[in-house]
Amino acid sequence: ADSGRGGAEVWTKESLDREECKEIYVGVLLSDAGGLTDIQFLQILIDDVNDNPMKPGAKTVYLWKTQNDRLDAPLGRVYVDDADDWDIGDKVFEWGGPPHALFTLNAKDGTIYASSQIREGRYDLHFVVSDIVWGQKDVAANVTVIVRILSQTALAHSTPIILMPATPAQLTAGWTPMASGGRLGKLTQSIGSVIGESEHSVEVVSLYEYNDEIFLTTVPKSFDSVPADTFLKDSSMTSKDGFISEESISEKPAAACVWISVTVKDGQFMDPVKLRGILGMNTDKLQQLTNYTVLLDTPTAVNGRNHHQHNPQHSRVGDETLLHNSSSSSSSADFNNPSSAASRASNTLPLQVVDANYTSFVTPHLSQASYCINQEPETCTHSSCLNGGRCIKTSLGSRYL
């Protein structure tokens, strides 16, 4: 404490190593002479020093894009095997030969970009990395880029699933579209088991971090530290007789949004309304199989907190509100007319990069929208009101008094 000046210092009991833990959350108990008590959570980021030499590395990038993308696509960073992840300023990235015409490289931070003119297929890229601190030069770093073009039909027939607690990087670790694997593979296998895996194929269309205001009331096992992959939200905590009210502790778990589509043997896509219905009836089974909390709809109230209501013309993804093209109504033929109540992909499709060292997964950032046709307003007619009644127009429509 600082002798009553309203501040305090937090010290670690021992040295911390970023290679063991990148960040920790510490709960600090605050109290005053009047008996009021509160807990504030501190997020502590562990710094790093360049104390490890790098080794050759290899990476695979999966780029799922639409045909009409007009901007270069970010693919993530060139990967070398190095336990230090904050030494990017000590490194220089270069092509390991003639540059590829469809790709560009940022020599300072190692970020790769694919041209908007790139076509579906496989591309093998070769880079070299140097480290000025260790005096290492031209360490090999190979990157394989696999590009898939998503059709508008695939986007229109996809449906979102929200998983908690999970991050996109955790889901993609150990996953490949061909061999499945990892937590994302477990999800697709679980979906296949509830819809009939032998007759259907489950594909991941989009993956990104879900940042909407979702809160679950849980209690950390210890206030000394909280796992780094759990995101905590500060909250006021009342106390009785000097004790902390555990019910008032609020955590915001990490959440990931996965858009999936399902095809049958003849290559046709399953109707998204039917798909959502099947998943909704089997939510409990999906949660048991994946060990995640599974949500199919954006909640409007959790723990008594009221959040935004869904607007038929808008869909909120994270902190961004996307306006959907009103001409893309439920009768539009652009998307082969899936059922009118289906979730639709946003017409604005920024690319989302999930970079997990060995793997990058780049997909369109989709959003959920409902397209509804407004009913014609009621009008008063001569025969509307009987027995001497009067027709009164109100903000809610016509009423007969």
The position carrying tokens 């990017």 is 88
Encode pLDDT of 162-184 as tens digits. Answer: 999 999 999 999 999 988 899 99
Query: Within a domain: residue 300?
Result: yes
Same domain, residue pair 200 and 320 = yes
Same domain, residue pair 189 and 123 = yes
The span from the CA of 298 to the CA of 316, in Å, is 9
Collapse the DSSP code of 201 into the 3-class scheme (helix H, G, I; strand E, B; otherwise coil) and give the result: strand
Q: How confident is residue 34, by pLDDT bands cut at 50, 70 and 90? A: confident
Residue spans of beta strands (DSSP E) within 247-368: 251-252, 256-264, 293-295, 301-302, 305-306, 314-317, 320-323, 351-356, 359-364
Mean pLDDT of 256-263: 95
Query: Within a domain: residue 261?
Result: yes
The span from the CA of 97 to the CA of 83, in Å, is 26
The span from the CA of 102 to the CA of 106, in Å, is 14
Mean pLDDT of 331-338: 38
Average pLDDT for the chain? 76
Same domain, residue pair 224 and 107 = no
CB-based contact 191:297 (threshold 8 Å): no
Residue 213 has pLDDT above 70, yes or no: no
Encode pLDDT of 217-259 as tens digits. Answer: 333 333 333 333 333 333 333 333 333 333 333 345 689 999 9
Same domain, residue pair 173 and 288 = yes
Query: Within a domain: residue 194?
Result: yes
Same domain, residue pair 102 and 226 = no
Same domain, residue pair 233 and 155 = no
Query: Within a domain: residue 390?
Result: no
Mean pLDDT of 45-58: 92
Same domain, residue pair 276 and 131 = yes
CB-based contact 138:130 (threshold 8 Å): yes
Residues of the chain with pLDDT > 70: what percent? 67
Residue 323 has pLDDT above 50, yes or no: no
Work out the burial of residue 383: count CB atoms within 10 Å of its CB; fewer than 13 is exposed, 13-18 middle, 19 or more buried: exposed
Query: Within a domain: residue 376?
Result: no
Query: Within a domain: residue 297?
Result: yes
What is the CA angle 54-63-143, rounded to 5? 25
Query: Within a domain: residue 304?
Result: yes
DSSP secondary structure string for all residues of 275-302: HHHHHHHTHHHHHHHH-SEEESS--SEE
Q: How confident is residue 358, by pLDDT bands cut at 50, 70 and 90? A: very high
Encode pLDDT of 90-127 as tens digits. Answer: 999 999 999 999 999 999 999 999 999 999 999 999 99
Q: In the structure encoding, which two tokens stand for residue 134, read together?
A: 């260790």
Q: How confident is residue 349, by pLDDT bands cut at 50, 70 and 90? A: confident
- pLDDT, residue 1, reads 53
Encode pLDDT of 284-314 as tens digits. Answer: 999 999 999 999 865 433 333 333 333 323 3
Count of domains observed in the chain: 2
CB-based contact 95:80 (threshold 8 Å): no
CB-based contact 143:79 (threshold 8 Å): yes
Query: Within a domain: residue 383?
Result: no
Q: Which residue segment(s) compose the domain that 141 sits in?
A: 57-213+254-364
- pLDDT, residue 396, reads 61
Same domain, residue pair 168 and 86 = yes
- pLDDT, residue 359, reads 94
Same domain, residue pair 174 and 283 = yes
Helices (H), strands (E): how many in the chain? 5, 25
Same domain, residue pair 42 and 68 = no
Same domain, residue pair 194 and 234 = no
List the CATH number of the domain containing 179. Answer: 2.60.40.60
- pLDDT, residue 7, reads 75
Among 106-110, 321-325, 326-330, top mean pLDDT goes to 106-110
Same domain, residue pair 35 and 161 = no
The span from the CA of 261 to the CA of 205, in Å, is 7
Q: How confident is residue 138, by pLDDT bands cut at 50, 70 and 90? A: very high
Q: In the structure encoding, which two tokens stand for residue 106, read together?
A: 């940022």
Q: How confident is residue 384, by pLDDT bands cut at 50, 70 and 90? A: low
Mean pLDDT of 2-10: 72
